[in-house]
Amino acid sequence: MTEEESAYDKVKKGVKEVVGGTAGVVEGTAQGIKEAVEDTKEGEETKNREYNEAGEELENAGDKVKAGAKAVANKVEDPDKDLDSEYQKEKTEEKMD
């Protein structure tokens, strides 16, 4: 009977090790998934911030083009006007819009 108990105890110990090992694998996998999700969120936040910055830069460039076009139109209407002064004036007005 001692041999059977010993064999039983060995199997019981082996099962506990497998189950315990499986729990460790599951826990490790869950942690890896959590870290991957966090990395993805950080990447998305960075991407969104970059898109917003690019959009602002594009909007600023558009304002500058409009201001330049208006300054040139004012210069054509009155050749005595200073182009740089007209541009600065129009640029300020574009920012207000």
Neighbours of 89 (CB within 10 A): 16
pLDDT reading at 1 higher than 60? no
Domain limits for position 89: 10-96
Place of tokens 């898109």: 51
Has residue 84 been placed in a domain? yes
What is the tally of structural domains in the chain? 1
pLDDT tens per residue across span 10-48: 766 776 776 666 666 667 777 777 888 788 888 888 888
Output the pTM of the full model.
Answer: 0.48
Rounded to an integer, what distance in angstroms lies between the CA atom of residue 82 and that of residue 89? 11
Asked whether residue 4 is domain-assigned, the answer is: no
69 and 92 in contact (C-beta within 8 Å)? Answer: no
Within-domain flag for 14: yes
* CA–CA dist 42, 36 (Å, integer): 10
Q: Are 90 and 66 in contact (CB under 8 A)?
A: yes
Residue-wise pLDDT for 50-67, tens only, equals: 888 888 888 888 888 888
